[in-house]
Amino acid sequence: MEDAKKYLGKIGIIGNGSWGTALAKMLNHNQIPFTWWIRDEKAIQHLNKRSHNLNYLTSVQFNMELISLSSDLNAVLKEAKTLIFCVPSAYAQEVIESVAVDCWQGKHLISAIKGILPQPHQLINDYLAAKYAFPIAQYAAITGPCHAEEVANERLSYLTFSSLNTELAKAAATLFKTNYINTFYNNDIWGAQFAAVLKNIYAVGAGIAHGLDYGDNFLSVYITNCYKEMYQFLNYHFEKIHPSNQVPDFHTSAYLGDLLVTCYSLHSRNRMFGNIIGKGYSVKAAIIEMKMVAEGYYAAKGMDIIQEELGIQMPISKAIFDILWNNKNAEEVFKEIESYLS
């Protein structure tokens, strides 16, 4: 633990949604001091006074002696050596571009985003590399399966840290390991992140299917085919786009496990979002009803563009995109999906 703390240095958390709050709980549990950027001053005042987040995972009590709160992003970036980035993908680009370019230099960035940036339709590491020449060796990504609500209740969960820098991935995995969080690390940055993106899209579809009154039998076949489609994409991307001598094991919790829990769990906001649509509500109504960001909504558009650019056929992902973005009838689309599942 001490070697990991020394390597990562001062920690800064950017974002205080459910997932950011869950990660903050893990560090607080391990007595790791950190600075926490929270945009809302009211939320900061509440945390300082009541020791819990105003809007997310309110049951989690923090030891505030170890936490420094700030609404000044520049100040947090200046102080921290390692940044845990927890802002939803829909708003991440705005946050990144709100500070000077040199504020990101020399930092370790650990992304907890499970989505694609909406405008450039890129993973955050590819965006940072292209726009800011951010070194890939200073980047890591966190994937599950791990729902924030179960972290709050200290139910055993699993995290995988992916980085081309093994020392960074190992240090991060060490820092977040607790008696209720098991951690692993690998070097599959792109595969792990794209798996997280795709599982959110497929979970929206699982929710739509549930809203349309499909049963567990259909859902098991649907998820099996989703994993097959995901596996084919990850293999293509690994072989053609980012080849490596170290072949990732896609049959592990960061890939298949995260897909399963996101499609099945009642905690899954993507599944909830899809369920509302499956019951006949519009996408706009579902967004209003959720009051939280469902990453699969934005990811569907990004992945549709990516699969077109790569010339890859991904019929399930495409079908969910058509429902969400092309206003296609969910019941009719799922009748089509039925015809090619096996």
CA–CA gap between residue 294 and residue 283 (Å, rounded): 11
- Predicted local distance difference test score (pLDDT) of residue 107: 93
What digits encode the pLDDT tens for the residues 220-243? Answer: 999 999 999 999 999 998 888 887
In angstroms, rounded to a whole number, what is the distance separating the alpha carbons of residues 2 and 150?
A: 27
> Could you report the per-residue pLDDT of 254-285, keeping only the tens digit for each?
999 999 999 999 889 999 999 999 999 999 89
Boundary-marking domain end, from 168, 187, 206: 187
| Domain count along the chain | 2
pLDDT by residue (tens digit) across 96-114? 999 888 888 899 999 999 8
Q: Kindly tell me the burial class for residue 23, based on how many C-beta atoms sit within 10 Å of its own C-beta (0-12, 13-18, 19 or more).
A: buried
pTM of the model: 0.94
Residue 116: CB atoms within 10 A of its CB come to 29
Give dist(CA 171, CA 175) in Å, integer: 6
Residue range 299-312, pLDDT digits in tens: 999 999 999 999 99
| Residue 102: predicted pLDDT | 83
CATH of the domain at 167: 3.40.50.720
pLDDT band of residue 291 (cuts 50, 70, 90) is confident
Clarify whether residues 49 and 137 are in a common domain.
yes
Q: What is the CATH number of the domain that holds 260?
A: 1.10.1040.10
Same domain, 166 and 282: no
Average pLDDT, the chain: 93
Closest to 58 measured CA to CA, from 146, 150, 152: 152
pLDDT band at 44 (very low <50, low <70, confident <90, very high): very high
Cα–Cα distance measured from residue 262 to residue 334, given in angstroms and rounded to the nearest whole number: 19
pLDDT of residue 156: 95
- Tell me which of 53 and 102 has the higher pLDDT: 53
In this prediction, residue 293 carries a pLDDT of 72
Indicate whether 34 pLDDT > 90: yes
Q: Per-residue confidence at 174, pLDDT binned at 50, 70, 90?
A: very high
Return the structure tokens found at 29.
Answer: 């549990």
**Last residue of one domain, picked from the residues 170, 187, 204:** 187
Q: Could you tell me the residue range of the domain that residue 257 belongs to? A: 190-340
